[in-house]
Amino acid sequence: MIPDKAPGEDVYQATCDLRKEAHVPSFEKYKELYLKSVENPEEFWGDVAKDFFWKSKHTGQFLDYNFDVTKGKVYIKCMEGAITNICYNVLDRNVHDKKMGDKVAFFWEGNEPGDELKVTYRELLKQVCKMANVLKSLGVKKGDRISIYMPMVVELVVAMLACARIGAVHSIVFAGFSAESLCERILDSQCSLLITADGFYRGDKLINLKMIADDALEKCTEKNFSVQKCIMLKHLSKDGSLLPEGSQSPPAKRACSDLQVPWNPEVDLCWHTLMEEASDECEPEWCQSEDPLFILYTSGSTGKPKGVLHTVSGYMLYTASTFKYVFDHQPDDVYWCTADIGWITGHSYITYGPLANGATSVLFEGLPTYPDVSRMWEIVDKYQVTKFYTAPTAIRLLMKYGSGPVQKFTRRSLKVLGTVGEPINPEAWLWYYNVVGEKRCPVVDTFWQTETGGHVLTPLPAATPMKPGSAAFPFFGVVPAILNESGEELEGPNEGYLVFKQPWPGVMRTVYGNHERFETTYFKKFPGYYVTGDGCRRDKDGYLWITGRIDDMLNVSGHLLSTAEVESALVEHEAVAEAAVVSHPHPVKGESLYCFITLKDGFDYTISLEAQLKKQVREKIGAIATPDYMQNAPGLPKTRSGKIMRRVLRKIARNERDLGDVSTLADCTVIEQLFQNRCNTA
Ligand code: WT7
């Protein structure tokens, strides 16, 4: 397990001394708190809970659970019986009890430099109350599902917190997803209402979001489900003003008056008109601890996305405490997480975790490369960012341009650097540490998943000596283990399946509408454990190293995709008989998609067909799933029972001739043909 003493060799210790004021100032202190958190969770989390408002206290044990499918239904309950409201806790409590109404909650920085806005806790609370009243006036009730499909604007936070305030369940869909993906998610959770925006810019590219949203709603209707109302925010249109009253700057400079916004008077409602009339006071709906808070879809190995469900109290305590400890949050920090709120990172570490701590954050709409590759560091200096959180793919992208663009800005304010989304290669880690942080700032490599709600393996910035590429040790309350194929726990230096032995407050509760799938995906393979789907190595010092997915999932730029969902998008084309997708290493994205296509008789494999297929995948799933490589595969390597041997395809994609054991292959001749048709991936 965790060593008694931190190793003194082969580790990095940042020069900036956070220790004087840090929440966890030493490895010994980490170990002490960790032991308390697993030996006496009741007391540990009870202390965390003291910082929140509870309408009534919990009655049963702090965590009640069954992780063992062989003993019955898997369940996790945290603080059962307690009554609270997460929106009240992250806003009202800060404004009223902690007297932080004038503190900035968000510095919004638009895609276009100069486009900016600041929102205090008081203003945010007012806007959220208004929106909550709007939703109520439209008949939204506790437990109803609301789909949100918006760009990175403050109103996205307003919409999600308004749902939380009235006990409605938000289901945010990343604005880069296609109409088809949005439709599928709306249908799965039967959302009665959609909140979207007219459009937005991503760098130079204009996205007509409303058009895509309408397309999705039409597809829903075709499938006999109608979303009753669609609220549209005018983000780009000229008369669309961001939050009225108070500290205003102009709305989107790049205002685009010729944006074609389709409008359906029977369904569509204007955000601004609704907000104008709504009251800015709204009594929160008091919720049970285990009431659902939100659904967020993540790829599943069968191809159909899973609606990961999180509930109120556990998620609140967990995001609040991970944010506090992992970024060592201090009151005067300016924190910036570059993720999109459409992913779990944004849910936990732009909205809920930071606001629960009364933090001031930067909310950035744009890209790291627009208008140039210095943008990130320009923003760091502009807002004097102290804690910065991004993805390895962004680091690798910027690394390609060298240290010049970084050094145009001082970055002197930075104290902690974080990464998330995929394993970080030591080269990128070292560049981040040496060039961006100038050896001053500890790097926290945070391993977690949509399912875990918050960080589960991570260094703590003032306590854990760092090893580049290692997510180090478990967060409080988390008990990891490494299992071999037969399910035995491996001790000491070893490699195998990463699992968790007991729940922590923020772990997901179910797959929305499909509890059986929840049990099958995470609990069937090794009864008694939560199975992450990741491989993991433990070194001689007890440090944990994530080795990547060990199921049929791919991680493209920190976003999970399943090979099955891409394959099913491909075979929907009339020319395609069969498709097999494997991962191929990519210098910036981490992994990219390499697709093998078997055509039906009578079709020719042409460049234009390839273009059509790529377009089809983009339209079905979204731009993140666009294949990088595609090749003609008149035959695929299969076992005698007909299973595609992806292991062999991965080798072919990489042009590695050593295929290992292919004795189960039904027909060996396909291999040579596939090597001949290989794409040039150099
Ligand atoms: C998968 C979860 C957690 C928010 C973003 C992704 C991979 C995530 C790390 C890390 C190595 C990582 C894992 C995990 N992953 N963080 N620090 N080191 N791998 O959320 O889409 O649910 O993906 O991302 O493979 O299982 P997600």
- 14-66 pLDDT, tens per residue? 988 787 899 999 999 999 999 999 999 999 999 999 999 999 999 989 999 99
Average pLDDT for residues 545-564, to the nearest whole number? Answer: 91
Percent of the chain whose predicted confidence (pLDDT) is above 70: 97
The whole-number pLDDT of residue 246 equals: 38
Q: Rounded to the nearest whole angstrom, what is the distance from the C-alpha of residue 458 to the centroid of ligand 1? A: 12
The CA distance from 194 to 465, in Å, is 46
The whole-number pLDDT of residue 262 equals: 93
Which residue's alpha carbon is at the smallest distance from atom 6 of ligand 1? 421
Q: Which atom of ligand 1 is nearest to the CA of 424?
A: 18
Q: Rounded to the nearest whole angstrom, what is the distance from the C-alpha of residue 31 to the centroid of ligand 1? A: 24
The CA distance from 646 to 380, in Å, is 43
Q: Rounded to the nearest whole angstrom, what is the distance from the C-alpha of residue 503 to the centroid of ligand 1? A: 18
Q: Rounded to the nearest whole angstrom, what is the distance from the C-alpha of residue 192 to the centroid of ligand 1? A: 31
Which residue's alpha carbon is at the smallest distance from atom 12 of ligand 1? 422
Q: Rounded to the nearest whole angstrom, what is the distance from the C-alpha of residue 49 to the centroid of ligand 1? A: 27
Residues with CB under 6 A from ligand 1: 298, 343-345, 420-423, 445-450, 471, 532-534, 546, 549, 555, 558-560
Q: Are 394 and 589 in contact (CB under 8 A)?
A: no
Q: Which atom of ligand 1 is nearest to the CA of 458?
A: 17
292-308: b or e for each residue (b if 16 or more CB lie within 10 Å)? Answer: bbbbbbbbbbebbbbbb
The whole-number pLDDT of residue 239 equals: 54
The whole-number pLDDT of residue 329 equals: 98
The whole-number pLDDT of residue 642 equals: 81
Which residue's alpha carbon is at the smallest distance from atom 15 of ligand 1? 422
The whole-number pLDDT of residue 20 equals: 83
Which residue's alpha carbon is at the smallest distance from atom 1 of ligand 1? 449
Q: Rounded to the nearest whole angstrom, what is the distance from the C-alpha of residue 130 to the centroid of ligand 1? A: 35
Q: Rounded to the nearest whole angstrom, what is the distance from the C-alpha of residue 390 to the centroid of ligand 1? A: 12
Which residue's alpha carbon is at the smallest distance from atom 2 of ligand 1? 449
Statement: residue 641 has pLDDT above 90: no
Average pLDDT for residues 578-606, to the nearest whole number? Answer: 95
Task: Tell me which of 347, 417, 422 to substitute to probe ligand 1's pocket, judged by most ligand atoms within 8 Å of the beta carbon.
Answer: 422
Which residue's alpha carbon is at the smallest distance from atom 5 of ligand 1? 421
Which residue's alpha carbon is at the smallest distance from atom 19 of ligand 1? 422
Give residue for tokens 């307003």: 158
How confident is the model over 398-425, as pLDDT tens digits?
999 999 999 999 999 999 999 999 999 9
Strands in 126-250 per DSSP E: 145-149, 169-172, 193-197, 200-202, 205-207, 229-233
* Predicted model pTM: 0.94
Q: How far is CA 61 from CA 43, 77, 302, 312, in A?
A: 11, 9, 36, 17
How confident is the model over 253-289, as pLDDT tens digits?
555 656 889 999 999 999 999 999 999 999 999 999 9
Average pLDDT for residues 66-92, to the nearest whole number? Answer: 98
Average pLDDT for residues 131-154, to the nearest whole number? Answer: 98
How confident is the model over 158-210, as pLDDT tens digits?
999 999 999 999 999 999 999 999 999 999 999 999 999 999 999 999 999 99
Task: Tell me which of 308, 560, 561 to substitute to probe ligand 1's pocket, judged by most ligand atoms within 8 Å of the beta carbon.
Answer: 560
Statement: residue 315 has pLDDT above 50: yes
The CA distance from 526 to 519, in Å, is 11
The CA distance from 614 to 622, in Å, is 11
How confident is the model over 96-139, as pLDDT tens digits?
999 999 999 999 999 999 999 999 999 999 999 999 999 999 99
| Cα radius of gyration rounded to whole Å, the chain | 25
Q: Rounded to the nearest whole angstrom, what is the distance from the C-alpha of residue 409 to the centroid of ligand 1? A: 30
Structure-derived torsion over alpha carbons of residues 322, 326, 328, 331, reported in degrees to the nearest 10: -40
Q: Which atom of ligand 1 is nearest to the CA of 532?
A: 26
Statement: residue 252 has pLDDT above 80: no
Q: Which atom of ligand 1 is nearest to the CA of 448?
A: 3
Q: Rounded to the nearest whole angstrom, what is the distance from the C-alpha of residue 297 to the centroid of ligand 1? A: 14
The whole-number pLDDT of residue 640 equals: 81
The CA distance from 455 to 459, in Å, is 10
Which residue's alpha carbon is at the smallest distance from atom 11 of ligand 1? 423
Listed range (394-403, 507-516, 571-580, 653-662) with the worst mean pLDDT: 653-662
Q: Rounded to the nearest whole angstrom, what is the distance from the C-alpha of residue 633 to the centroid of ligand 1? A: 31
Q: Rounded to the nearest whole angstrom, what is the distance from the C-alpha of residue 86 to the centroid of ligand 1? A: 25
Q: Rounded to the nearest whole angstrom, what is the distance from the C-alpha of residue 198 to the centroid of ligand 1? A: 31
Burial of 642 (0-12, 13-18, 19+ CB in 10 A): exposed
The CA distance from 540 to 559, in Å, is 31
Average pLDDT for residues 590-600, to the nearest whole number? Answer: 96
Average pLDDT for residues 239-244, to the nearest whole number? Answer: 45
Average pLDDT for residues 138-158, to the nearest whole number? Answer: 98
Which residue's alpha carbon is at the smallest distance from atom 18 of ligand 1? 423
The whole-number pLDDT of residue 65 equals: 97
Average pLDDT in the chain? 94
The whole-number pLDDT of residue 256 equals: 61
Q: Which atom of ligand 1 is nearest to the CA of 450?
A: 22
Q: Are 173 and 382 in contact (CB under 8 A)?
A: no
Q: Rounded to the nearest whole angstrom, what is the distance from the C-alpha of residue 224 to the centroid of ligand 1? A: 35
The whole-number pLDDT of residue 643 equals: 83
Q: Rounded to the nearest whole angstrom, what is the distance from the C-alpha of residue 573 to the centroid of ligand 1? A: 31
Q: Rounded to the nearest whole angstrom, what is the distance from the C-alpha of residue 446 to the centroid of ligand 1? A: 8
The CA distance from 532 to 126, in Å, is 40
Percent of the chain whose predicted confidence (pLDDT) is above 90: 88
Q: Rounded to the nearest whole angstrom, what is the distance from the C-alpha of residue 163 to the centroid of ligand 1? A: 27
The CA distance from 95 to 124, in Å, is 10
The whole-number pLDDT of residue 585 equals: 94
Q: How far is CA 620 from the centre of its chain?
A: 20
Task: Tell me which of 296, 297, 448, 561 to substitute to probe ligand 1's pocket, judged by most ligand atoms within 8 Å of the beta carbon.
Answer: 448
How confident is the model over 419-468, as pLDDT tens digits?
999 999 999 999 999 999 999 999 999 999 999 999 999 999 999 999 99
| Confidence bin at 665 (pLDDT 50/70/90) | confident
Q: Which atom of ligand 1 is nearest to the CA of 445?
A: 17
Q: Which atom of ligand 1 is nearest to the CA of 533?
A: 26
Which residue's alpha carbon is at the smallest distance from atom 7 of ligand 1? 422
Which residue's alpha carbon is at the smallest distance from atom 14 of ligand 1? 449
The whole-number pLDDT of residue 257 equals: 59
Backbone angles phi, psi at 313, to 5 degrees: -70, -45
Q: Rounded to the nearest whole angstrom, what is the distance from the C-alpha of residue 448 to the centroid of ligand 1? A: 5
Please name which of 599, 582, 586 lies closest in space to residue 646, comparing C-alpha atoms.
582
Which residue's alpha carbon is at the smallest distance from atom 27 of ligand 1? 449
Does residue 371 have a cis peptide bond before it, meaning omega lies within 30 degrees of 0?
A: yes
Q: Which atom of ligand 1 is nearest to the CA of 345?
A: 4
Q: Rounded to the nearest whole angstrom, what is the distance from the C-alpha of residue 471 to the centroid of ligand 1? A: 11
The whole-number pLDDT of residue 681 equals: 85
108-133: b or e for each residue (b if 16 or more CB lie within 10 Å)? Answer: bbbbbbebbbbbbbbbbbbbbbbbbb
Statement: residue 240 has pLDDT above 50: no
Report the SS3 class of residue 564. helix
Task: Tell me which of 341, 546, 549 to substitute to probe ligand 1's pocket, judged by most ligand atoms within 8 Å of the beta carbon.
Answer: 546
